[in-house]
Structure formats: structure tokens, C-alpha cells
Structure 1
Amino acid sequence: MSETLLVLLAGVVAGMLNSVGGGGTFVALPALVAVGLPPVTANAASTIALVPGAVASAWVYRRELAPVGPASTPTLTLVSVVGGGLGALLVLALPSASFEAAVPWLLAFATLVLAFGRHLSRWVAGALGRPLGMSARAVLASQFLLALYGGYFGGAVGIMMFAVWSIGLGLDPSTGNPMRVAQLAAVYLSATAFFLIASDALATPLILAGMLAGAVAGGFTGAHVARRLPDRVLRAVILTIAVTMTVLYFVRG
């Protein structure tokens, strides 16, 4: 019962974090490892459990979706699905030790870009004498790499999406958050399809169900909260999550 309660609460927090600014994996994965799941199984289980929460958040945002730069929404979603599926195949086939060692540095880079991306974007635009903007091909290529990472590990992939869209397109968090949530749902759904077939995440159904229920509640609630937050507040929340996660990943080391 105590283990189920732990993963239920972790699911609520993870679902809320993903709907507001990302970072749910860092809460979900350690909670599953703490109750005895091997890291690879915990990684698969956390992805599976966070899918309904991501879908619930995307449903709340369904009328607020806006294209990311020049890339169309269907094409961007297709790229997220393909990248997420390939990332899941990689985590099932390759050792994760080397990639996990790089995660803190990836998070540190993403946090810096998120914090200073808009300032850098304005500076580059001023230097070029024209607005800075990624081409549709560049948006899709970066999204494929992010989705591949999201399917493989997923830690702070939402924060990294904000970082890329901030510096490449000058997109504000409040404007980009609905699409970020939708793309997270696409990545997680694709990865889950492979994890359900090839991993042993279903070997602990009570633990998985507890986190899944919590993530749905957290994702639905968090999305409603995020819609009402001013841009500055939302950006501060996202930056706080990013900095905290980066420090914790380095400490976890």
C-alpha cells in the first residue's frame, strides 16, 4: 500500500510538471526505481504511465494548438511519432549507461538556452538585420532528434522543446505550451506501443496503475492551471523546474 501511494503521488506531480513545463520523468523514474523496479523497466513504466496524463493535458489544450513556425502540425506530429518509436527501440536494444552520463550536460545546455534563448534570438536577429526564424526543415529535423531522445529517455524533453523553439523561433512559453504538450503525447504514445510489447513493465500492474492514475489527475489539473498563468509566471515555473532538474541530475551523477 505504501509503495502504491508513493507512485500515485509521484504520478500526480509528474503529470502536473509535464503539463506546465516538463520534467515529469525525473519524478516518475526515481519513484519507480525506489519501489524496486530495474532502471530500464522503470524507464519503460514511467513512459507508459505518463501517456494518459499527456493525452489529458493535450485534450485540455486542443483548441489552442498553433503551428510551430513554418512546420505544419500534422507533419510535426508525424515526426514526433516516428522519433519516439525509434527512441524506444534504442532503449530496448542498447545499454543506457553512456547516454545517462550525458543527460546532465544536455539539461544544463537546455536550461541555459531556455533562460537566454529569447535574448540571444533578438541579438542574432539584430546582427543579421532581419527576424530570426528556423525553416520548416530545421524545425522538423530538430523535432525528430528531440523525439528520439524523448522515446529513449525522456528527461526534460519538454524543456528542450521550449529551448529550441525559443531560440529558433522566438516562441513564448504561453504560446508554445499547447503544442509542446501535444507533441509530448505523440512521443509517449509511440514509445509506449513498443514498451508494452517488448519490455516487462506490465509485470507490476498495481504500481503501474497507481502512477498512471496519478498522472492523469495531475496532467488534467496542471493543464488547467497552466492556461491561467501569465507568461512571466509560466516562464519562471519552467526555468525553476529546469534548474532544479539540472542540479539534481548532476548530484545524482
Structure 2
Amino acid sequence: MSDYGLLACAAFFAGVLNTIAGGGTFLTLPALVFTGVPLVTANATSAVAVSPGYLGGAAGFRREISAYPRRQLLKIVGATLFGGLVGSLLLLVSSNEAFSFVVPFLLLIATTAFAFAEPVQKWAQRHRFAKADNMASLIVVAIYGGYFNGGLGIVLLALFACWGMRDLDQMNGLKNAISLLISGTSVATFALAGLVAWPQALVMMAAATIGGYAGAPLARRLPTALVRAVIIMVGTAMSLIFFARLLN
């Protein structure tokens, strides 16, 4: 029961964190590994566990999402579903050993991308990269999200910064909608492949849903600088922990 309490607590705060700025998997994945779930199964279960939180978060930001151009949203949906499916299929053919090796690097990439989003955005604008219709970049990020999901929200926010978006509420709304699509694709793929630890997943799904909906009003009140600092600290800590596990 203590394991399930830990998983529920991690999932609740993951739902809050995902709605505010992303990075919730930095909590759910280590919690599952700590309770003895094999890494590839833990990653698949973590993706399932946080998926309802994205629904709650998207519902909380429905006003910001509906303000986005409909034609652009349709392009985003298509690119997201394609990339998410490719990434999910890649995880199915990965061994625990191979996945253990790449996880710390993926965590570090996600954290670094978020930490340096502003200079990356300026560089992108100077090099004429900031185009909101560049779906190729979204497909790459969706593949990453379907394969790993860890720090997906962080990577998406960095991508939106490269697109030239500046409204954090709109960025958060779009991020939750895209994360929900990728998560839904991953859940279907992993469930059909029998890769989900369902008892743990169901407990975490309930907690993540509550946390996701609770995070939307909180996101509008918290200072952006504070949110960024918390995400960077959590991402850095989780990266170091998984690098230490890799060395041991």
C-alpha cells in the first residue's frame, strides 16, 4: 500500500506539473522504477498514467486552445498522431538495457531545451526558422513523446518558442492538447502490446486527472520565472539520478 501511496502522490503532482509547464514524467517514471517496475514497462505505464492529466489540463485551457486557428490545429493533429505512433512503435522494439542507456540523455536534452528556450528562440528567428506551419519539427517531437514522454511538455514549450509563440497560457493549452493526442496514441499502442502495468496505472490515472485539472488555475497565478526554475531543478535532478543508475 505504501508503494501505491507513493505512485498516487507522484501522479497527482505530475498532473499539476504537466498542466503548468510539463515535466510530470520526471516524477512518475522514477516512482514506478523505485517500486520495482521494469524500465520499459515503467515508461509505458507512466505514459498511460499521466494521460488523463492531459485531458484535465486541456479542458482547463479550452479557451486558449479554441482561440488557435482551426486550419492550423488540423495540421497539428495530423502531425502529432503520425509522430506519436512512430515513437510508440519504436519503444515496443527497445530492450530494457537499451532504454536504460538512452533515458538519462533524453532527460538531459528535455531539461536543456527548456532552460535555453529563449536564446534558441532568438537564434531561430534570426535564421528564419520561426514558422508555425513547420510540421516536420512537430513530427520529430511527437516521435520523441511517443517513445519516451519524459519532459514532453518541456520540449513542446521549447518548440513553440522556436515557432515564435509568446503567450504562455496559449502555449500551455496547445501543449496539453498535443500531449493528450500523443498520450492517447501511446496508450492504445502499449495496451495492445501488453506493456502496461494496469494496477499501478489505474491508481496513477485517477491521481493525475485531479492534479491536471487543479493545475490550470494555478498556472495562471504562478510567476513564469518560478515555474521555469522548478521545472529546470526537477529535470536536472532526475537526469543526475538516472545517470548515476547508468554508471552503477
TM-score range, shorter-chain basis? 0.7 to 0.9
Question: 3-state DSSP class of the match of 1:201?
Answer: coil
- Equivalent pairs counted in the alignment come to 245
Q: 1:134 aligns with which of 109, 126, 130?
A: 130
Q: Is it true that 1:199 corresponds to 2:188 in the alignment?
A: no
Structure 1 residue 133 displacement after superposition: 4.5
Q: State the partner residue of 1:208.
A: 201
Q: Is it true that 1:20 corresponds to 2:14 in the alignment?
A: no
**Partner Cα distance (1:157, 1:71) in 2:** 24
Alignment of 1:65-144 (within 5 A): 65=65, 67=68, 72-95=72-95, 97-122=97-122, 125=125, 132-137=128-133, 139-144=134-139
Question: 3-state DSSP class of the match of 2:37?
Answer: coil
1:129-156 CA deviation, whole Å, 9 max, x = no partner? xxx553355x311111111111111111
2:124/2:162 contact within 8 Å kept? no
**Partner Cα distance (1:164, 1:109) in 2:** 13
**Partner Cα distance (1:136, 1:96) in 2:** 36
Alignment of 1:159-198 (within 5 A): 159-169=154-164, 171=166, 173-198=168-193
Q: Is it true that 1:147 corresponds to 2:142 in the alignment?
A: yes
Q: Is it true that 1:236 corresponds to 2:229 in the alignment?
A: yes
Structure 1 residue identity aligned to 2:131? S
Q: State the partner residue of 1:31.
A: 31
Structure 1 residue 249 displacement after superposition: 3.4
2:131/2:164 contact within 8 Å kept? no
1:65-86 CA deviation, whole Å, 9 max, x = no partner? 2549x98112112211221122
**Partner Cα distance (1:181, 1:197) in 2:** 24
**Partner Cα distance (1:174, 1:110) in 2:** 20
The 3 A distance-change label for structure 1 pair 231 and 91 is: same
**Partner Cα distance (2:123, 2:202) in 1:** 48
Question: 3-state DSSP class of the match of 1:134?
Answer: coil
Structure 1 residue 51 displacement after superposition: 1.1
The 3 A distance-change label for structure 1 pair 107 and 166 is: farther
1:49/1:215 contact within 8 Å kept? yes
Structure 1 residue 118 displacement after superposition: 2.0
Q: Is it true that 1:222 corresponds to 2:218 in the alignment?
A: no
Structure 2 residue identity aligned to 1:12? F
Structure 1 residue 103 displacement after superposition: 3.7
Structure 1 residue identity aligned to 2:187? T
Q: Which moved more, 1:50-59 or 1:22-31?
A: 22-31
Structure 2 residue identity aligned to 1:165? F
**Partner Cα distance (2:123, 2:2) in 1:** 52
The 3 A distance-change label for structure 1 pair 36 and 99 is: closer
Structure 1 residue identity aligned to 2:130? M
TM-score normalised by the chain length of structure 2: 0.85
Question: 3-state DSSP class of the match of 2:36?
Answer: coil
Structure 1 residue 52 displacement after superposition: 0.9
The 3 A distance-change label for structure 1 pair 244 and 30 is: closer
Question: 3-state DSSP class of the match of 2:10?
Answer: helix
2:23/2:154 contact within 8 Å kept? yes
Structure 2 residue identity aligned to 1:134? A
